[in-house]
Structure 1
Amino acid sequence: MWRYSRLNHLVSLLLVLLVATGSHGRQALVTANGSVLELPRDQSPITFETTRLRIHAAAGGSHELLVEVAGSTIQHQRGLMYRTAMPENSGMLFIFSHDHTSGFWMYRTHLPLSIAYIASDRCIADIRDMFPCSEGPVSLCQREAVAYRPAQPYRYALEVVQGYFSHRGIQVGDCLEWD
């Protein structure tokens, strides 16, 4: 089992590094969790480790996702920028060293997303739907886009395809586990 898991992880990392020429001067990549990333030629790919994450919903059942883990400042800044497709059972888990109250915004993010802000006890403190802000300079996006701020402090954040939480009855108070 360990060998298969390790081999699967290595193959996934190789997929991230496989660069194909895309249209409009972009590089088309497939990430470790199956997302499609179309980077402008002036941007370099950033690799993320993946982990399995399970959400235990009080409304019934548990839900497993394969998520990319953003733990560094550079990974936090890139997040899900430039993604043009993402499998429904995947996402990105942001891990911070201390609690935050600042919001997320969607600069150069092409997909509508839902975000769960997760407290240090790994239970969901807030959920928000977020909408793309994919074109224009940073200042325009920051001015016109909503900063998606949580109602409570959080230590982690999980971004998934918009509607993932609501379609599964996942709500504030539900807890998560991951390695």
Structure 2
Amino acid sequence: MASSLSPARCWLAPLEVSMPRSRWAVLAPLLLLLVACTGASDGSVQNGQNGQQGENGAQSAEHAPDLPRVVFQKADGTTAALWVEIADTDEERQCGLMHRLAMPADQAMLFVFPQDVDGPFWNRNTFIPLTLAWIAADGTVLDLTDMANVRPEDDPQPVQLYGPRPGTPPYRYVIEANQGWFARHGVQPGDRADLSEALARPPEDGNPICRQKGY
């Protein structure tokens, strides 16, 4: 998330189980929970989004529904895609992915700036290890930077600033993805990001987590 200086899993709701009168009373809730987890098809990390094929017929993509894509054109002629939430206001860029405990494997956040910038990002309240792609106005990937996460229980938090390597030109966009995603998919500096689908998405009401946290 941008410094002020410049999600799917099988979620387990708390269960209230009274003292069982038989072994079936103990096993029934557990079996139902197992079926719910293994049968999920809502974009969870385990099964991907609705069983759809990923890029080039690969394993199903893992992302929340109804998100726009960013497609990376790689030097070898192949592509890789991320599905992105969009942060295009000061408040959304300041909050970013703060307070998230997990994010689907092929999901990310796209930060959109109104002009080229060169300021750092920080890891305050960032509980997911991330890799940042710094992207020029024409879609060129300028650099990739790993960002360490902090822990919710850290007090004070070991906050650090992260930016592209010295000498990197100013950027217009930043994509925060799960750490290692770009390396696993062979995306490197010099590749091109097609942002057209994401940039064409009409503005939305904003990040609900950010609203809850008062950003």
TM-score by length of 2: 0.57
SS in 1 for 2:126: coil
2:132 is aligned with 1:115: yes
- Kindly provide the CA deviation profile for residues 125-171 of structure 1, in whole angstroms up to 9, marking residues without a partner as x: 1100101124457xx54xx4331111321100000000001111111
Q: Within 1, Cα distance between the matches of 2:111 and 2:78?
A: 24
Q: Return the match for 2:107 from 90, 94, 107.
A: 90
The answer (yes or no) to whether the contact 1:86–1:161 under 8 Å persists in 2 is yes
Structure 2 residue 80 is matched with structure 1 residue 67:
no
Q: What are structure 2's unaligned runs of at least 5 residues?
A: 1-10, 15-42, 46-65, 198-215
Q: Distance in 1 between matches of 2:44 and 2:162?
A: 26
CA RMSD of aligned residues (A): 2.6
Q: Distance in 1 between matches of 2:110 and 2:160?
A: 21
The correspondence for 1:148, drawn from 159, 162, 177, is 162
The alpha-carbon deviation at position 118 of structure 1 amounts to 0.3
Contact 1:125 1:173 in 2 (8 A): yes
Give, in angstroms, the shift of residue 60 of structure 1.
Answer: 4.7
Instruction: Say how many residue pairs are matched.
Output: 136
Residues in 2 aligned to 1:89 and 1:110: alpha-carbon distance in whole angstroms: 17
Counting only pairs closer than 5 Å after superposition, residues 51-62 of structure 1 correspond to structure 2 as: 51-62=68-79
2:145 corresponds to which residue? 128
User: Residue 94 of structure 2 corresponds to which residue in structure 1?
Assistant: 77
Cα separation, partners in 2 of 1:174 and 1:81, compared to 1, 3 Å: same
SS at match of 2:70: strand
Q: Give the counterpart letter for 1:171 in structure 2.
A: Q
Q: Distance in 2 between matches of 1:134 and 1:96?
A: 28
AA of the residue aligned to 1:55: F
Instruction: Point out the structure with max Rg over C-alpha.
Output: 2
How many percent identity over aligned positions? 35
- Taking structure 1 as the reference length, the TM-score comes to 0.67
5+ residue gaps, structure 1, are: 1-19, 24-32, 36-48
Cα distance in 1 between the residues matched to 2:67 and 2:87: 9
> 1:34–1:157: structure 2 CA closer, same or farther, 3 Å change rule?
farther
Cα offset for 1:34? Answer: 6.7
Q: In structure 2, the residue corresponding to 1:122 is in which secondary structure?
A: coil
